[in-house]
Structure 1
């Protein structure tokens, strides 16, 4: 059956076998692994993962593609669902979980935001995203691309930009380059923060990213915030992009303590 990409679903199908093998290789799949693929599409990655012998699951929103994947890979657990509406915490019972996906550009940031916060057991993730999004996720404090997405992801996992990908490996060709990112666990002790407090802090700070942090926080000032800046020897004239993920985590606990 000839299947055309649907623009409404942000579909761009991978057609380069070498890139597919490179992506799957980054997962370092073992037989005991549980591997979840998001949006398998025509199955460019699916076949390689399936034949590795791991426990394989996939989420596919497209009804036709979902049926094709079920037919071609009968031992796979195929869930016909929009990944944006998936209940991610239900994966937390799966040991040795690895997640992979060529994510649609229009929903990649939102998906990644949810996954890193709600899936606590992932051993690793490999995602292909728009290059600009990949650069934002992996950005360092003080850079132009550093923002709320950078802090959020880096607070939950250790992201690594693995390689970039040309538009030529897709059909239809997107107008921009892509990037493949690896996400790896951070030590459990590094996650000693409230997600809701951090989320609220990031919204406040990066909605005003051109303002100095002292001006942003003046209506929220309390002894905890004062102690934080004194202990860190931070100048109140710096801007949000100058704070590290660790700084944001600590600040969030005194800025919005009722959300902890």
Structure 2
């Protein structure tokens, strides 16, 4: 496909902010601990700031998911061996990765879709070995918050049922072109053992959404119509006060409650 040879103009509609600092790019890639036997997927490679460092690793398979045709063509020109998938990452069939063996996923995620993508990836990719994502700083705080912390929300409760999360480092707006208005941060995701994952994901998602839509209310108030003897017993067994707020529950407590409420 023909494309312009001049500099690519970032498209606001796609939430494009390109990384320009090679040191930060290397730090992000190093956090993934990529190896020559790995199957690595990069989301939103843009102008290849991370791809460049990933390509040097000589991974067994390196695939990038890019929805901007102009950028995809440039990436193919620069790295002919790269597998370029022209697709919207939100529509990518993540569950298909379960048939291809272990994989690692990395990306500087667009702010407007980062949370949704992470929600899908951690729950759908059972073969995930590790993921490293750069997101809006506020989202990074949510992803790594502990119960009882104001930043602990529905996204936290969901993601931590699938992965351990670690806040790695903050990234200032100055290393992007164009500059975003807020700070970013890099988070590492290490999957929990498969037998520790929720069996009934739909019920867990439903409970999390129900509780956090009314997060300022007491849990017993939100669940008033569902306060069966079993649920009342759950409060006693878990040592949770019915007047507690949703963000005080642990990820595991969301899971056990989701099976009975």
| TM-score, structure 2 as length reference | 0.95
The residue correspondences of 1:119-134 to structure 2 (distance < 5 A) are: 119-134=125-140
Alignment partner of 1:135 is 2:141: yes
The number of aligned residues is 255
1:17 to 2:22 alignment: yes
Shift of 1:214: 1.1
CA displacement 1:48-83 (0-9 Å, x = unmatched): 111211010010000100111111111111100010
Distance in 2 between residues matched to 1:47 and 1:101, nearest whole Å: 13
> Which residue of the partner structure matches residue 258 of structure 1?
none
Partner of 1:64: 70
Show the counterpart of 1:191.
Answer: 197
Cα distance between partner residues in 2 of 1:52 and 1:63: 25
The residue that corresponds to 1:238 in the other structure is 244
Native 8 Å contact 1:193 1:250 kept in 2: no
Deviations 1:150-206 (A, max 9, x none): 000111111100111011110001111100000001123321431101000011111
Tell me if structure 1 keeps the 8 A contact 2:64–2:83: yes
Supply the distance in 2 between the matched residues of 1:173 and 1:127 (Cα, whole angstroms).
Answer: 18
> What's 1:73 paired with?
79
Q: Deviations over 1:199-245 (max 9, x none)?
A: 00011111111111111111012232122112112111111111110
Normalising by structure 1, we get a TM-score of 0.96
After the TM superposition, list the runs of 4 or more consecutive aligned residues in structure 1 that deviate by more than 6 angstroms: none
Q: Secondary structure at the match of 2:46?
A: coil
**SS of equivalent to 1:51:** helix
Structure 2 residue runs without a partner (length 5+): none
Is 2:33 the partner of 1:28? Answer: yes
Residues 1-260 of structure 1 mapped to structure 2, 5 A cutoff? 1=5, 2-54=7-59, 55-255=61-261
The question of whether the paired residues in 1 share the 8 Å contact of 2:170 and 2:184 is answered with yes
SS at match of 2:13: helix
* Whole-angstrom CA distance in 2 between matches of 1:106 and 1:185: 24
Q: For the residues of structure 1 that align with 2:240 and 2:57, how far apart are their CA atoms? A: 50
